Amino acid sequence: MKAVRVHAYHEDPKIDDIPEPTIQGPLDVIIKVGGAGVCRTDLHIINGDWAEAQNPNLPYVIGHENAGWVHEIGTGVTNVAVGDTVILHPQPSCGLCLACRRGRDMQCEAAFFPGLSNNDGGMAEYLRTTARACIKLDAGTNPADVAALADAGITAYHAVRKAAGGLFPGTTAVVQGAGGLGHIGIQSLVAITSARIIVVDRNPDALALAKQLGADETVLADGNQVQAVKDLTNGLGGDVVFDFVAEQGAELDAWQMTAPAGSQYILGYGGEFRAPTLDFVGGEKNVIGNIVGTYSDLSELMVLAQAGKVTLHTKQYPLEAALDALHDLDAGRVRGRAILVP
């Protein structure tokens, strides 16, 4: 099969012909990939930013936002059958450790992360995963239309779900970055909260999309965005600020946009957060990190998606054009999410 593999960091991946994955255990599932999202994390992977954390052997197949059809199942699989349409939780978990028992999939002691580790990802024609990662979809769902919900979607929804209890009528949520994750975050806020939504982005087209998706106010990130948000919130800032950028100083802007007793949810990465401890004490502010989400989060998100309440704005590329997709993402030419279709 054809697959997109990283051979060396700081170099473009290559499209290789490699053997198809095979069943290795009773709960394994082989997926015929119908869509693989292209994520900014893939750019960080190529740059070597995840090498120390995951320590993969090169070369390996990238791609952690995947959906498709069940191609083959292990002897112990009962929740899906060959031919089913599925979306995959990006990090299969064991189900037996204490973290799994508590529903904390991302902290599973025995988890593996296809596309970031020694387990090949889904920028390929076929992918090996496990039964625990599979969420069955309506048969008519096109995997390419929903694949990016497996990471961009679940990550955004997970943060909104955690914050939703404090986003009642009269509160304000600020979304910094209306790209691949942010535009899903906006829709999640509209779907499950009553907050007023302010969206900040440096791209006017992204702000226009945000308005279409339900943002109440938009702010152009032109250097005066912090003051603009303060002006829209009686000088206070947002009760919750979702930072989908978190690099090049944006993470510090988000902190300044956060109201006293408010919370900054950091979802993007690449920057460095620094703030005076007095700001924490005097302002009673919170900073909360987020990585992906739970199986339940993805299941809930798919209910919203299949009801038409959360939709992905995508640009599709054939698998052979993977480098074009990565370059377009890096250059900011993708509105919403780039999707590879084998």
pLDDT in tens, the chain (342 residues): 999 999 999 999 999 999 999 999 999 999 999 999 999 889 999 999 888 877 789 999 999 999 999 999 999 999 999 999 999 999 999 999 999 999 999 999 998 889 988 899 999 999 999 999 999 999 999 999 999 999 989 999 999 999 999 999 999 999 999 988 999 999 999 999 999 999 999 999 999 999 999 999 999 999 999 999 999 999 999 999 999 999 999 999 999 999 999 999 999 988 999 999 988 899 999 999 998 999 999 999 999 999 999 998 889 999 999 999 999 999 988 877 899 999
CA distance 279 to 21: 51
pLDDT given at position 188: 97
Query: Residue 88: which of 29, 19, 40 has the closest Cα?
Result: 29
Q: Express the helix, strand and coil content of the chain in percent, nearest 5 each.
A: 35, 25, 40
* Burial group, residue 10, by CB count within 10 angstroms (0-12, 13-18, 19+): exposed
Amino acid at the residue 264: Q
pLDDT given at position 298: 95
Query: Residue 114: which of 206, 192, 208, 37 has the closest Cα?
Result: 37
Cis peptide upstream of residue 143 (ω within 30 degrees of 0): no
End-to-end CA gap in the chain: 10
CA distance 174 to 185: 10
DSSP 8-state symbol, 226: H
pLDDT given at position 312: 86
pLDDT given at position 134: 97
Using one digit for the tens of pLDDT, what is the confidence trace for 26-49?
Answer: 999 999 999 999 998 899 999 998
pLDDT given at position 148: 92
